[in-house]
Structure 1
Amino acid sequence: MAIKQITPYLFFSGTADKAIKHYEKALGAKIEGGAVMRFGDVPPGGGMPPCPAADKDRVMHALLHIGGGQVMISDVPSDKKASTVSNVEVVLDFDDVAETTAKFDALAAGGEITSPLQDTFWGAKFGTLTDAYGIRWMFNCTLKK
């Protein structure tokens, strides 16, 4: 059986709702079906332990479409912390420098630019940032020759 696609799953410590809104505004992300599933939405006997009151409004699952790709998003339960240490970054590939710059600046709001957008030896404009929610992103825009 062939792999259909690869989808990053981003985890948050209670800030998934804010991150989703940020990604909608900064990147034009769209929530699949317009719905976010919450831990409190799981029916009793739904194969999950009872939901603590502190978790009922946390995001259990959301699928966001960003350009031609997608990411899944979830909060971890309130008694856990999402990892902030990772060797993974989410790459966004563009074909328009103005759009790259606008989305880079929008996603960087409240976060940290780790490498500003700049021309590279491989013929692209490239930059990296960590957003306000601790997710690391790479932006790559192949320059037209």
Structure 2
Amino acid sequence: MAIQSINPYLILGGRTDDALAFYHDALGAEVIALNRFGDVDGSCPEAMRERVMHAELQLGAARIMLSDGPADAPTAGGAVSIAVRFDDAAQIRRGFERLSVDGTVIQPLFDSPWGTLFGVVVDRFGVSWMLDCTKT
């Protein structure tokens, strides 16, 4: 059996709708799947009906999955970053700037010694992003 893909799955504790709009604006991500708990389980508690059970974002050739998770889902995890490679310097600058809004810049974009424009930002949802773009 061969692994076909590995996708980050973000559990956002009730903030998935905001994250979907934010990542669309920041990175041009497109929602390709969205299911709410109430769509799938008619017997779920009223407070859970509008929470996102599963969503998928398409970012270029990559996918990120997201969920609000159950009401008591822990939202903290290990040290994980989503690494994104761009092919356009203007696009990386735009994405970095937008991800930084209400977030924390860990490493401002800079001309790295390994030949890329590189930066790290933790967005307002606590997701760490490592962005780079080959310098041309």
- Please list every run of at least 4 consecutive aligned residues from structure 1 whose deviation after the TM superposition is greater than 6 angstroms: none
**Which sections of structure 2, spanning at least 5 residues, go unmatched?**
none
- Tell me the TM-score normalized by structure 1: 0.88
Distance 2:128 2:69 in 1: 18
The alpha-carbon deviation at position 53 of structure 1 amounts to 1.7
Q: 1:58-97, aligned counterparts within 5 Å? A: 58-83=51-76, 85-97=77-89
Distance 2:74 2:104 in 1: 21
The alpha-carbon deviation at position 86 of structure 1 amounts to 2.1
**Which sections of structure 1, spanning at least 5 residues, go unmatched?**
45-49
Distance 1:104 1:80 in 2: 29
Distance 2:23 2:100 in 1: 11
Q: Residue 126 of structure 2 corresponds to which residue in structure 1?
A: 134
1:9 has 2:2 as partner: no
The alpha-carbon deviation at position 97 of structure 1 amounts to 0.9
Q: Residue 31 of structure 1 corresponds to which residue in structure 2?
A: 31
Distance 2:78 2:129 in 1: 12
Letter in 1 for 2:40: V
Provide the aligned length of Structure 1 versus Structure 2.
136
Q: Residue 21 of structure 2 corresponds to which residue in structure 1?
A: 21
Letter in 2 for 1:8: P
The alpha-carbon deviation at position 4 of structure 1 amounts to 1.5
Distance 1:118 1:124 in 2: 8
Distance 2:22 2:38 in 1: 23
SS in 2 for 1:100: helix
Q: Do the aligned partners of residues 43 and 76 (structure 1) sit closer, same or farther apart at CA in structure 2, a change above 3 Å counting?
A: closer
Distance 2:25 2:112 in 1: 28
Q: CA RMSD in A?
A: 1.3
1:119 has 2:106 as partner: no
SS in 1 for 2:94: helix
Distance 2:101 2:61 in 1: 23
Identity %: 42
Distance 1:103 1:89 in 2: 15
Distance 2:41 2:9 in 1: 23
Q: Residue 90 of structure 2 corresponds to which residue in structure 1?
A: 98
